[in-house]
Structures are given as C-alpha cells and as structure tokens.
Amino acid sequence: MSDMAAQSSAPAELPRAKTDWLPLLLVPALAVLALPFVGSPSTWVTLTVAGLAMGMMIFLMASGLTLVFGLMDIINFGHGVFISLGAYATLLVLGPLAGWATADSIGLNLALLGLCILVAMGVTALAGAVFERVIVRPVYGSHLKQILVTMGGLIVTEQLIHALWGASPIPIPLPQSLRGAFVLGDIVMERYRVVAVAIGLIVFIGMQLLLNRTRIGLLIRAGVENPEMVEALGYRIRRLFVSVFIAGSALAGLGGVMWAFYRQTLTAGMGMEVMVLVFIVIIIGGLGSVGGCFVGSILVALVANYVGFIEPKLALISNILVMALVLIWRPQGLFPVARR
C-alpha cells in the first residue's frame, strides 16, 4: 500500500481504533449457550461444524450482494441468478473431466473443485458485467425500478438456464475424496463441510485484506460512504461500481458451486431459493459490511442447526427470530456502515 510515508510520520504511541467485539462475541456465546440444550458434546461439535460450513456457504453467496448494495445502493433481487449460473457452470467442467470426480486421488478431486470454482467465477463475472450494463445501469437511483427490473432479469436468466440445460433437476457427483466424513471418537464431521469452512475462511480473509490493506479496498469503503467525494478526489466511481458488481457476481458464482456440491443437485431456481436467507444475513450484518455479513451468516446457520436439533418445529422461524432480535438490539445491523 502506498502510505509508507504517511505511516512513518505518525508517532508510534498513537491510540488505535477500538474493535467492536460485542457482535463477534455473539457467535461463541451462542455456541456455548447451545451446549447444555444439545446435551451431547459430540453432537454439539457435529452441529457446530455443520453450522459453520453452512454459514460459510451463505457468506460466499451473500458477500457480493452486501458490497453491491453498500457501494452502489442497488437492490439486486437478481443476485440469486448468479448463484444458479455458478452452480450450472460446474457442468462445463464436470462434463469433460468426469473422471477426475471419481478418481481416487485427493489432488485430482480438489483440482476439479478448483476448476469448477474458477470457471463458475469467470462465467458469473461475465454475466454480471452484462447484467449491470443491460439491466441495472438504466435504473440507478430508483429502488422500486431496481426491484422490478432485477426480478425480471432473474426470471429471464432462469428461463435461459432451462433452455440451455433443461428444466429437470441435474444430479452432480461430489468428488470422491470429499464424500464421507472425518470421525474423531463420537464426533462426525462431513469432509465437504470442512472444505467449505476452509474456502469460506480463505475468501473472508482475502476480502478483509483487500478492503483494509489495499487502495482499492479503501476506495470501496469510501465509496460505500460517500461516492460523490470519492469522485471529487479524482477517482472514477463508475468503474469501481462496475468492478464491484462483477466481483460480487463472481463471488455468488463461487457460492453457487459450493452450494451445488452440497445439494448435489442443480435446479435453475436454487439461487432464488436461498435469497431470503441471503437478504436476512446482509440485513443482520449491516448493509455494505463484509464483516457483518460473515458474522451474520454464521449466526443464522448456527441458530438454524441448533434449533433444528433442539426444537425442529421452531427451525422454520429461527432465522426471522434472529433477525428481529438483532435489529431490536442494533437497528442498523451488527456492523453498521456509515452513509452520507
């Protein structure tokens, strides 16, 4: 980063910003609170790992949307289509490289997953560029039009997916090494979920580094708060908008791949189906906050898992309850982003 001189001129004993730990403590507090209700520690670990994995997948699907909303003030109801497109893009890799999925080689299996992710991100980035130019750009500044037009874009793209790949659900195989579970005593952790946690963490850390340690990250954070001032400093915010939209679409594509392998079935509506969850976590996290989206995703997924085990009848409303409680506590979300 180009601020070495700025760093060196400042006295070393300067106070540093205080971290807002309270929302971060919610996750361990929830986990500890759930333990006596779950009863068995091994079941609790299994549920916690499963919840973390689910949370990471939700985060991957939602992180792009929160950035797009925060920076561009765009309500993109069509975001789900990038999740579906990303999922279907796996077929472009699984078709010619089907043997890699069944090969008894962890290297080939992980390479296949990596290739699926790369291709899906490429496809959804391209689709995002087209979607922004054709559908979103004409409705900047009008939330109602954005909702209507992006919903329309979603329906059209879902129909295109039907036209290209057919309307029937398509089963996809999980690569051989990612099937099954790690068993440690009484604790069972599905391999794929552990991989999902790892990928989610890598993406989260990467996004944090990008947003907090690079000039482009500073620009995005500044643009979320005051795009006009960013322009007055000489930066072309429109290019930044488009880049973030494309990156957000690519992240949704990555989430789509992870979600697809988790479900092991592709349907054109799979993106739309998770959008309620996606909107809940970005609202809980604070619109525009990547850290908030991360914590919100984990919180929602853990609650769903614990409640689903303890009191299955309440599982359906647990997400809404979490959102209501968080918004009563912090009406702007866990990590509110300042806006102009």
Partner 1 sequence: MTEPLLHLSGVHTHIGPYHILHGVDFAVPAGELTMLLGRNGAGKTTTLRTIMGLWQASSGRIRFDGSDITTRATPDIARAGIAYVPEAMGIFTDLTVRENIVLAARSGPVDKNRLDWILGLFPALKRFWNLPAGNLSGGQKQMLAIARAIAEPRRLLLIDEPTKGLAPVMVRSMIEAFKALKASGETILLVEQNFYAASALGDNVVVMDDGRIVHSGAMSDLVADKDLQQRLLGLSLDAHQ
Sign of CA dihedral 251, 255, 258, 261: negative
How long, in residues, is the chain? 340
Q: How far is the CB of 15 from partner 1 (least distance, A)?
A: 6
Distance CA 260, CA 173 (A): 10
Residue placing its CB nearer to partner 1 in the complex, 44 or 241: 241
CB–CB of 157/165 below 8 Å? no
Q: Which of residues 201-240 bind partner 1 (CB under 8 A)?
A: 215, 218-219, 221-222, 224-226, 228-237
Q: 296: buried, middle or exposed (CB in 10 Å: 19+, 13-18, 0-12)?
A: buried
Does position 17 interact with partner 1 (CB under 8 A)? The reply is yes
Distance CA 220, CA 227 (A): 9
Does position 9 interact with partner 1 (CB under 8 A)? The reply is yes
Pairing of strands 187-190, 181-184: antiparallel
Residue placing its CB nearer to partner 1 in the complex, 166 or 215: 215
Residue placing its CB nearer to partner 1 in the complex, 230 or 260: 230
Residue placing its CB nearer to partner 1 in the complex, 17 or 328: 17
What element of type H or E holds 113?
A: helix 106-131
CA atoms in the 13 A half-sphere facing the CB of 206: 10
Q: How far is the CB of 161 from partner 1 (least distance, A)?
A: 38
Does position 337 interact with partner 1 (CB under 8 A)? The reply is yes
Does position 19 interact with partner 1 (CB under 8 A)? The reply is no
Does position 332 interact with partner 1 (CB under 8 A)? The reply is no
DSSP for 206-239?
A: HHHHHHHHSHHHHHHHHHHH-HHHHHHTT--HHH
Residue placing its CB nearer to partner 1 in the complex, 1 or 209: 1
The pattern of x and - marking residues 167 through 206 that bind partner 1 according to CB under 8 A reads ----------------------------------------
Site residue total, partner 1 (CB under 8 A) = 35
Q: How far is the CB of 73 from partner 1 (least distance, A)?
A: 16
> Which residues, 6+ apart, have CB-to-CB distance to 84 below 8 Å?
157, 158, 161, 256, 266, 267, 268, 269, 270, 271, 272
Task: Provide the binding-site residues for partner 1, judged by CB under 8 A.
Answer: 1-11, 14-17, 215, 218-219, 221-222, 224-226, 228-237, 337-338
